[in-house]
Structure 1
Amino acid sequence: MTASRDPPRTVELATAILQHTTSVETYLQENGLPSPSFSPGAPPKLPLPPDLQQKLAAALGALDELQALLLGPMGWLMNQVGHAYDLCSLHALYRFNIPAKLAVGEEIEVAEMARRCGADEDAMTRLLHHAATNYLLQRPRPGYVAHSAVSAMMATVPALHDFVGNACEDMWPSAPRVVSALTHTWPGSGATAAEGGRPPNQTAHNLAEGTDLPFFETLKHDAERTRRFAGSMSMLTAMPGFEPTAALESYDWGALMTQKDGEDATVVDVGGSAGTFAVALTDKYPSLRVVVQDLPDVIDKARAGLPSRSAGRVTLMGHDFFTPQPVKGADAYFFRQILHDWSDDFCLRILRQLVAALKPGARLVINDVTIPPPGATSLYEERQIRCKDIAMMSMFNSKERTMDEWKELVTKADARFRLKSVVQLPASPMGVLEFTWEPDRAQ
């Protein structure tokens, strides 16, 4: 009798893809929602409940692994090399503002689009055909292009257009220079930094731009790039799990008021930009008082946008977090996507500026990307986060961190910080870590 064998991995993956996709489609049909489509007007993201978000993630992970297996080692390697050129046509869509030159429902000859763009017909034809293979445009018939769901969104969502421009014109030029920055231009540990580590002006960005300025200083000298970056960040922070208000539901801010016996509790939002999170927090917890700190020019711009209902509850304060924390005795100090912009050594300098201001029991709350441990997610999901990590290296000599790295970083800043809780946001790489200040602990 022949013993039964498990199905080959490729068949197992294909079966899982079918099962998970069927579950997603069944939900969409039962709720009168459209199926995924490349047509303009398609939802930018499938509106799924948490359990089906997990099935969708599993399907994408299985699809990624199946493609790699079917291509084989050589095919997969060649596929990776080909990705180096994938942004070329997307960059062309941005630079020539192609989405805005094409009406929804319009079919246009490729040659006519080249004329509208004032571009070389042969080169533009080739770029548009490449864009169609990446679903950035559609080819309704030979020699013609039309909007896809992607290009239509770029035409109608200004922040998405800015996001693409930031990716293609600010981030992408640095990527090919990461290894050169590490091995040729600034080899070694970068001992010029105050406490060791690579400073933020010895990056792939500096090679790409030919500048000695850190990225954010570079932006200050170009008003349009500064505006585009702000638009790009507004797009990123609108994505599920990345929006500032996501931290409202994942951390018990109300516990701060309980400990105050009815008195108002104070939260310092360090690097809080325009105060979006602070306004949402005080709307939900009116007894909280929030001090939003950022550089003076950021705070000056934020004043005009602060809603009148937040008066008395939200205070805007100019502050450089590399200098001592001026708000002493607050109940919590909140860092949202701040520390991932800095290397460990610069983060230590930032965190140590808090120490003199802390009272016993004060909270340090960090809301930032957390890299999952190997095997905790599919390689597909982990790759998305690892790409963010490489981007941090490329632009800032900074990094995304694992939960263990976050704990090690904070306790290295001062052993009197004690990790109290960790929450991983659902369907998001973001986490919330809470530390308490315990000055009686031995250092």
Structure 2
Amino acid sequence: MSFSGLCERDARRVADTVAFIGRTGTREALDAVLPGLDLVRHLDFAHGALLVVAPDADAVAADLVRLGVRPRDPVPSVVVRDRLAQRLGREDLDVRIVHAVVGAGPREVEVFVLRGDFPDVPGDEEHLAFRAATDDDVVLRGVYEHLADAGLTPDGGGYNKHEDVTVLYLRGARRMELTVPGHRESLLRRHLGRPDQPRRDLLRLMSGAWRTRSLAVVAELGVPDLLADGPRTTADLAAACGAREDNLGRVLRYLAALGVFALDRNGWVLTETGALLRGDVEGSQRDLARLYGGLFYRSFSALEHTVRTGESAFTHVFGADPFDHFAAHPADARLFESAMAAGTSFLKIVPTALDLPAEGVVVDVAGGDGHLLGYVLGCAPGLRGVLFDRPHVMDPARAVLSRFGCADRVSLVPGDFFRDPVPAGAVYLLSRILHDWDDERCATILGGIRAAAAPGARLVVVERPVPETHLEELPLAWDVHMMVNNVHGRERTPIEYRNLLAANGFRLDEIRPLPLDMAVLAATAV
């Protein structure tokens, strides 16, 4: 086959792209950009694109007909022309786009035609393009933030007035184009940033301690609880919580900029985020804010000591390992336990991620106050439970399980998994335990469970694994947190968990996601 516009190499590239478009759906195309992107409801795979150098765009269009696609007339490219002009140092570029329908449609191949003699044209204009399935600003912002959170990085963009669309480029395993209808100035500004954006970003990162302490202070003062019944003025709040009006108002104004409070004509009100700082709501984060902005705020001041020496920053600051400190300071222990309970709201959906047998015994190893076991037994009335933990948690666990209405189906067994035998069962729960310990101590814990478990018994591990394909902030932040506020703790990647389990008699079968980057790691005794 002879071509009048495309060289042999470019003709082969175009043919390969056409074949990919013809056989690929939206989900598969998203996986090609970054595996696991779950945005099929909001995005449609629109086209695949590549850049060629040719003397004439009309001749390229004629060549596309020979390749079995149906081209439209070439139109000017604004975004790609500007990108290439900047990178090539040329202002006289002529770049045209040739759109061509692939197969029965509606997907297309998009060929950028750069006219002229350019032997060293950048090769990264190839991308997969997705069209937003909505023009709702809130949904579009959510889709964009999801892409950013997944690890895709901005790679240019702009407004194409010829097509009245905003075009955003992002880079993952492959380059991605997101096309949004209309001129979306705020979204484009979010994507491209400002000229001083790097310094702004760094200043925001460096001032994170200010946010942490501001949240802790309003939680300590009880400001969110004072707003439970409606708006109140700064003066009213200051009088009620014993604060200086001017200073309190400045903190509230700062937190309002962060989305925690809002100001209406009647005074300060809680946002959906700020409401979580109330002490009387389900999933309250009040004590978590007090802990992170208090005890753990102080321990993080010794992060450099931990990085240099490998010793726990908490131990360095407070003179004792965390659990020894809590044993000697009851008030700190109560705050810690309340804060940890605040972080367990996701546990109620754990049973939905499990394949529970109809009958048998579930052993919650180091099950604490019994919340997870209560949720599991509530979903499986034919199961019985065993809570295995230190003696001092038996009474709180008994009270919690009574509230769940399943105390009569649970045996409370006091013990230490480092010294005492683990009770026998068909299913074992191990929730947020392994990240407290190094591999050697984890081997002791898992070995004790494996000694009690028959082959085929199930092990359910609940942790926050560190993704291996991209950077997720929460798991990485908690990994540093475990380094600072625990003697032996660390978060692990899925492969590290797989190897740890395999070395101690378990096969990792599946990882099932939970909110806040938590996950259920389902394993089997072998």
Q: Does the alignment reach a TM-score above 0.5?
A: yes
Q: State the match for 2:355 in structure 1.
A: 252
Q: Match of 1:353, SS?
A: helix
Kept in 2: contact 1:337–1:368 (CA 8 A): yes
Q: State the match for 2:52 in structure 1.
A: none
Identity of aligned residues (%): 27
Q: Match of 1:367, SS?
A: strand
Q: Match of 1:301, SS?
A: helix
Of 219, 244, 252, which aligns to 2:326? 219
Q: State the match for 1:350 in structure 2.
A: 445
* Structure 1: unaligned runs, 5 residues or longer: 10-14, 27-35, 37-52, 189-201, 258-263, 439-443
Of 357, 367, 385, which aligns to 1:290? 385
Aligned equivalents of 1:177 and 1:302: distance in 2? 34
The alignment status of 1:384 with 2:474, answered yes or no, reads yes
Q: CA 1:357/1:82 → structure 2, altered by over 3 Å: closer, same or farther?
A: same
TM-score normalised by length of structure 1: 0.71
Matches within 5 A, 1:28-427: 57-58=146-147, 66=190, 69-70=193-194, 71-102=196-227, 104-109=229-234, 113-120=237-244, 123-140=247-264, 146-149=268-271, 150-155=273-278, 157=280, 159-183=284-308, 187=309, 202-208=311-317, 210-212=318-320, 214-238=321-345, 242-243=346-347, 245-254=348-357, 264-307=359-402, 309-328=405-424, 330-375=425-470, 379=471, 382-397=472-487, 398-412=489-503, 414=504, 416-419=505-508, 421-425=509-513, 427=515
Aligned equivalents of 1:394 and 1:388: distance in 2? 10
* Number of aligned residue pairs: 366
**What is the CA distance between 1:63 and its match in structure 2?**
11
**What is the CA distance between 1:232 and its match in structure 2?**
2.3
**What is the CA distance between 1:337 and its match in structure 2?**
1.4
Deviations 1:112-149 (A, max 9, x none): 644544345554443333223223333447xx951231
Kept in 1: contact 2:460–2:522 (CA 8 A): yes
Rg larger in 1 or in 2? 2
Q: CA 1:25/1:335 → structure 2, altered by over 3 Å: closer, same or farther?
A: same
Q: Match of 1:227, SS?
A: helix
Kept in 2: contact 1:68–1:76 (CA 8 A): no
Kept in 2: contact 1:104–1:147 (CA 8 A): no
Aligned equivalents of 2:333 and 2:134: distance in 1? 42
* Structure 2: unaligned runs, 5 residues or longer: 1-55, 58-75, 84-128, 155-189
Q: Match of 2:293, SS?
A: helix
**What is the CA distance between 1:298 and its match in structure 2?**
0.3
Q: Match of 1:279, SS?
A: helix
Q: Match of 1:280, SS?
A: helix
Aligned equivalents of 1:122 and 1:24: distance in 2? 34
Kept in 1: contact 2:475–2:517 (CA 8 A): yes
Q: CA 1:247/1:90 → structure 2, altered by over 3 Å: closer, same or farther?
A: closer
> Comparing both structures, which one devotes a greater share of its residues to strand?
2
Amino acid at match of 1:411: A
Aligned equivalents of 1:331 and 1:136: distance in 2? 45
Q: Match of 2:369, SS?
A: coil
Kept in 1: contact 2:364–2:428 (CA 8 A): yes
Taking CA–CA contacts closer than 8 Å with sequence separation of 6 or more, which of the two structures ends up with the larger relative contact order? 1
Deviations 1:237-289 (A, max 9, x none): 11xxx22x3221222112xx5xxxxxx52221101123233233333333322
Aligned equivalents of 2:130 and 2:148: distance in 1? 7
Kept in 2: contact 1:250–1:423 (CA 8 A): no
Kept in 1: contact 2:443–2:500 (CA 8 A): yes
Amino acid at match of 1:395: N
Aligned equivalents of 1:16 and 1:230: distance in 2? 46
Amino acid at match of 1:22: D
Kept in 1: contact 2:388–2:422 (CA 8 A): no
Kept in 1: contact 2:227–2:270 (CA 8 A): no
Kept in 1: contact 2:234–2:249 (CA 8 A): no
The alignment status of 1:430 with 2:518, answered yes or no, reads yes
Aligned equivalents of 1:77 and 1:314: distance in 2? 52
**What is the CA distance between 1:6 and its match in structure 2?**
5.6
Aligned equivalents of 2:192 and 2:512: distance in 1? 29
**What is the CA distance between 1:69 and its match in structure 2?**
4.4
Deviations 1:364-407 (A, max 9, x none): 321221222233xxx5xx11221122222221141222110111
Aligned equivalents of 1:93 and 1:64: distance in 2? 35
Kept in 2: contact 1:155–1:161 (CA 8 A): yes
Aligned equivalents of 1:346 and 1:5: distance in 2? 60
Q: Match of 1:157, SS?
A: coil
Kept in 2: contact 1:324–1:354 (CA 8 A): no
Kept in 2: contact 1:16–1:62 (CA 8 A): no
Aligned equivalents of 1:365 and 1:80: distance in 2? 36
**What is the CA distance between 1:93 and its match in structure 2?**
0.5
Q: State the match for 1:43 in structure 2.
A: none
Kept in 2: contact 1:337–1:367 (CA 8 A): yes
Q: CA 1:68/1:211 → structure 2, altered by over 3 Å: closer, same or farther?
A: farther
Q: Match of 1:89, SS?
A: helix
> Comparing both structures, which one devotes a greater share of its residues to helix?
1
